[in-house]
Structure 1
């Protein structure tokens, strides 16, 4: 397993022909954030590696997640009668979120500035972005406390939808929701914030994705012609949603009360792996143990066993995803050397 090759020779053969293409028509990005990032990137020295900027931003997202997990482990800190998160923690979380967003905006600009933009860097960037989705949303949950918002699934759906576009059209259209939600992170209350996230996903991101898809279909520029091939990227995310929801609805344990953060972490890690494997869109093998565990926990086992299975899955998914990332990056790095990138 240590030397397992995830990228096939056929996929590696097209590595040197890869062209990254993205379109961002978000007014907030075009007229406010990009000019700001262009100013910031001028401060960075040319020796600063873009991937280091990307990884630093990811580590700050994880730190925010762990910080909130320490002060609000069960999402009750915002509820009356419970110990609230200290003010300095919120200030730190807000500052760190802004730094993360800035680093995310300037890493690509630094790559172009240093003439070091490669497919490997793009994969590294989007791979960490996919893992950051859940960390960010779960951190936001500490502001609102518990409730039925479904925000995690909306954000994950929006993320996979834009990459489904890329898979079929060949161009990554950046969703408006991504910038807007971060810009308004600290300025909206729960109901308005949730309505904004869901509204942008359903009224902006989804229609724009479908419009771009059908536009490519009309121009006969789709990468995949059959309905089956076009919909393959949705198979694994949908199965993940079904299995995770089934676990929550039928679980005879205290996951929702005590271990909810671990459950989110497990789902987010599986989602990140699924997203990364759009490089080879097939049913993700991580869903097999998840399916088996859902069957087991619904057979009436004791609560502590179900909780143990959750922690085991979370750890196994993490190890598997890190292994996948390291092996793929090594393969692509070797290919870069072979073709002289």
Structure 2
């Protein structure tokens, strides 16, 4: 997408602050989340026999999703173009990206939703964590290698999601009821794509970049404990939130899935910002020893 972003960034005036571009894209994602919260509060709108989300909503969400993805791609280019790159800008960008993960996943969930043709709220919870761990994996790389490698899975997923929103507006959610191949439903394709991008693109590339740094003797941390520190807090959050779901006497995830997803995503964003600060401090400490 870099050739496209390099063209788009030239449209912006040089006085436009990169952080404003970042925040504008984030607000579009939040707006999509709130819009579908209104039309699909409990994720049953796409199920057979329920009142569906209006077609125009899918068009708006699809356009705003692609615009938000584009702004997220050009904010850094605008910063370098105007010589205004700062550590705060990087923290602001990736901090909002970490929070946007929950908005992306929960919004696209409304395409299939719950019900006989949809995905259960617990499966979506697991898929949300697949996305969250994929996000943190890239920053684990930077923590250990000093370089932030971003996987192609993100670009592929965002372009695909935007396209699916527009298609949904044209053909209706009923089109997703039909099998994609034999008894393989479109909902299964949805879950397979999320897991497949993580297992086939994100994880292999992260491990490969880590191994290359190890082979070149450029790793920033020598012990296994220090290398794995960024995973401790996210894993603890996953364990505690999952225990809450399984032990909840009121079946909290079934009763309030949207609020629970929002809680998990917000807590995760809080943790990742702390990790970003840890990455920055560790990198500065490393440079000071050279």
Q: Residues 120 and 281 of structure 1: is their aligned pair in 2 closer, same or farther, counting only changes over 3 Å?
A: closer
Q: Where do 1:90-109 residues align within 5 Å?
A: 90-109=58-77
Conserved 8 A contact 1:74-1:257: no
What RMSD, in angstroms, separates the aligned Cα atoms of the two structures?
1.5
SS in 2 for 1:104: helix
**Structure 1 residue runs of 4 or more that deviate by more than 6 Å after TM superposition:** none
Give the structure-2-normalised TM-score: 0.83
Alignment partner, residue 265 of structure 1: 262
Alignment partner, residue 250 of structure 1: 247
The offset of 1:279, in angstroms, is 3.7
Alignment partner, residue 174 of structure 2: none
> Does 2:157 correspond to 1:181?
yes
Deviations 1:292-338 (A, max 9, x none): xxxxxxxxxxxxxxxxxxxxxxxxxxxxxxxxxxxxxxxxxxxxxxx
Give the structure-1-normalised TM-score: 0.71
Correspondent of 1:231 among 225, 228, 233: 228
More helix by proportion, 1 or 2? Answer: 2
Correspondent of 1:55 among 23, 27, 36: 23
Correspondent of 2:214 among 197, 214, 217: 217
Correspondent of 2:272 among 257, 269, 275: 275
SS in 1 for 2:56: helix
> Does 2:139 correspond to 1:163?
yes
Q: Where do 1:113-124 residues align within 5 Å?
A: 113-124=81-92
Conserved 8 A contact 2:245-2:251: no
> Does 2:120 correspond to 1:152?
no
Conserved 8 A contact 1:72-1:85: yes
The offset of 1:200, in angstroms, is 1.5
The offset of 1:280, in angstroms, is 4.8
Conserved 8 A contact 2:32-2:64: yes
Correspondent of 2:93 among 119, 122, 125: 125
The offset of 1:238, in angstroms, is 0.5
SS in 2 for 1:184: helix
Conserved 8 A contact 1:64-1:139: yes
Conserved 8 A contact 2:29-2:103: yes
The offset of 1:254, in angstroms, is 4.3
* Alpha-carbon separation, structure 2, partners of 1:241 and 1:197: 18
Conserved 8 A contact 1:158-1:175: no
Structure 1 residues not aligned, in runs of 5+: 1-32, 283-341
Deviations 1:167-186 (A, max 9, x none): 00111110121000011113
